[in-house]
Amino acid sequence: MKYDFDELIDRRQTGSIKWSGSPNELPMWVADMDFKAAPAIIEALRQRIDHGVFGYTEPDEDWFNAYHDYYLDVHNWKIDKGSLIFATGVVPIISSSVRKLTAVGDNVVVMPPVYNIFYNSIVNNARKPLEVPLLLQNGVYEMDWEGLEKAFSLPETKLLILCNPHNPVGRIWSKEELARLAKLAKEHDVIVLSDEIHGEITTLEKPYVPFYISCEEAKEIGYAAISPTKCFNLAGIQTAAMVIDNAEIRAKVDRQINTDEVAEPNVFAVPATIAAFRDSRDWLNQMRRYVFDNRAYAERFIEEKIKDLKAIRGEATYLLWVDCSSISSDSRPLLKFLRESVELRLSDGEEYGTGGQGFFRMNLACPRSRLQDGLERLAKGIELFKKQ
């Protein structure tokens, strides 16, 4: 079956955060997609609604099998079902982990520019984000190994939140990089939480590498947060899982997600996840092709028509990371101007920590005609900004 990703769906008046702006604003910021979910997911939810009884619910055998079979088939990662635990979201997993695995005042390492909410989970719990910024070398972001070693050596450093693959820069970390990171973390007794929510949004030719399959040490000192919400566009359903082989870490984090009341699914979370991972793989693969065609289109457009900008060549996520520093080393006034003049809303690179200044992030998960509109607005807005 061929799915229609060109369909323009009006998301206004649905409570969408992304589409909450003025009537002509084109939102290319929040990381959700403007595509309808896969038919199998919609059907599973319809059946659940038609049942008509919405009492308390828990993950069933099919939920465990859906994750297990998907990751085994697609990534050759054999998840131990005893290590697989439901949670209402990846951010709840991160926040609960910070609370349980570190103490007030401890350092939690992040590698900016990185998903801004990592900082909230750390700072809101009175821990310190310890930044080890990625190094941009010849257009490619790399981990700073010396910086990581230094950060891990500090006695107050207890946890690293890894973004694998990396939002917003779009890097897929290689097996070698992940193994090196796991070994370094183990040497210094630092736990690694690998956020793999963007894992499925890559080209079919180059899948991401789950942290767990990089080496034995990864299973000893690390764990992963996985979810169907980003790749199947189910963020509003709030469903995720963690895989924790280390029994001590598992017991602690499991306890904390219960204390924080983020351990129980709503009635839609389980059927949506099963229908996604088990029954919607063809939709997922077509979406990946469409989104990566969008990425190629946007990269080409910027290269040919907006010479002041430089798109970073991303291998993962539907988010394009763009260097606008030649126009404005501070991205804030530029982004404000684009929103006001051509009604294009993008995410300000500044939000993603050190190294994000002078960049913006553009969400490409939309019908091609909408992407074209966004790029035309961007080109026009940049010209107007320069003329000011």
Ligand X SMILES: Cc1ncc(COP(=O)(O)O)c(C=O)c1O
d(CA 312, CA 161): 23
- Of 108, 235, 274, 311, which one interacts with ligand X (CB under 6 A)? 235
Q: Considering the complex, what minimum distance in angstroms separates the CB of residue 166 from ligand X?
A: 8
- Choose the stretch contacting ligand X; rule: CB under 6 A; options: 87-95, 144-152, 266-274, 378-386: 87-95
- Residue in 118, 130, 128, 127 with CA at minimum distance from that of residue 94: 118
31/111 with CB nearer ligand X: 31
Nearer to ligand X, 95 or 280 (CB): 95
Residues forming a β-bridge with 27: 345
Q: How many binding residues for ligand X (CB under 6 A)? A: 14
x-marked contacts with ligand X along 111-130 as a string, rule CB under 6 A: ----x---------------
Nearest-approach distance from CB 14 to ligand X, in angstroms: 17
CA–CA distance, 371 with 324 (Å, rounded to integer)? 19
3 state DSSP class of 53:
coil
Residue in the shown chain whose Cβ atom is closest to ligand X? 89
**Rounded Cα–Cα distance for residues 106 and 255 (Å):** 20
240 binds ligand X (CB under 6 A): yes
Supply the minimum distance, in Å, between the C-beta of residue 118 and ligand X: 8
Q: Give the per-residue contact string, 161-190, with ligand X (x = CB under 6 A; - = no).
A: --x---x-----------------------
With tokens 């080109």, the residue in question is 379
Is residue 229 close enough to count as binding ligand X by CB under 6 A? yes
Nearest to 364 by CA among 294, 302, 311: 294
Give the one residue of 83, 96, 97, 227 binding ligand X; rule: CB under 6 A: 227
Token pair of 111, please? 């590698």
Q: Are 101 and 270 in contact (CB under 8 A)?
A: no
Residue 75, phi then psi, degrees to nearest 5: -120, 0
Element (H, E) at 153: helix 145-153
CB of 376 to ligand X, least distance (A): 26
Residues that bind ligand X (CB under 6 A): 31, 89-91, 115, 163, 167, 195, 197-198, 227, 229, 235, 240
